Amino acid sequence: MDIFTEIEGRVATLRALLGGDLGIADLAPRMTSLESDALVRALREAAGLTREIERISIIGAGVAAARSRDEAGRSGLAQSLGHRNPAAMMQDITGAGRAEAQRHVRLGTAVVAGAAEAGDAAHEDSQGGTASAPWHAPLTAAL
């Protein structure tokens, strides 16, 4: 499914469960008033929405890391923005802790590299070669 369609669907479900005009101060009272099955559904939708958004962040971290390679020196993305490395840049952008930012960069780097390899393999296959599933296929599928 298209990622933005998935996000929009989850937001629509949460809006239907919690109401359209919802301020931060209204969130706790509205969730408290939900029946248990509706509360569980809201929690599942919120968790799914978090996963979809995290996928965007992880892939973005991988792209940022590729644009911040050591060979680029100070002209690399992270250093050009005043950060020592891509993880420090992600930590600043997201407010995540160091370990979480490093995890996003590692995962994103693997997925982005895997996507490039998959593109190379597809090109090889179209040229008459044989292509096999790349090593990172399970990682990409799990993401």
Average pLDDT, the chain: 87
Angle, CA of 128, 131 and 136, to the nearest 5°:
155
Residue whose entry in the numeric block shows the structure tokens 């799914």: 48
Predicted pLDDT of residue 57: 95
Q: Residue 35 belongs to what H/E stretch? A: none
* Closest C-alpha among 55, 66, 116 to residue 89: 66
As given in the structure block, the two tokens for residue 122 are 């597809």
User: Which pLDDT band holds residue 19 (cuts at 50, 70, 90)?
Assistant: very high
Predicted pLDDT of residue 72: 77
Does residue 142 carry a pLDDT above 70?
Answer: no
Least confident of 63-72, 89-98, 104-113: 63-72
How far apart are alpha carbons 112 and 104 in whole angstroms?
Answer: 12
Percent of the chain at pLDDT above 90?
71
Instruction: Give tens-digit pLDDT for 39-79.
Output: 999 999 999 999 999 999 999 999 999 999 888 778 899 99
3-state class (DSSP) for residue 60: helix
DSSP 8-state symbol, 82: T
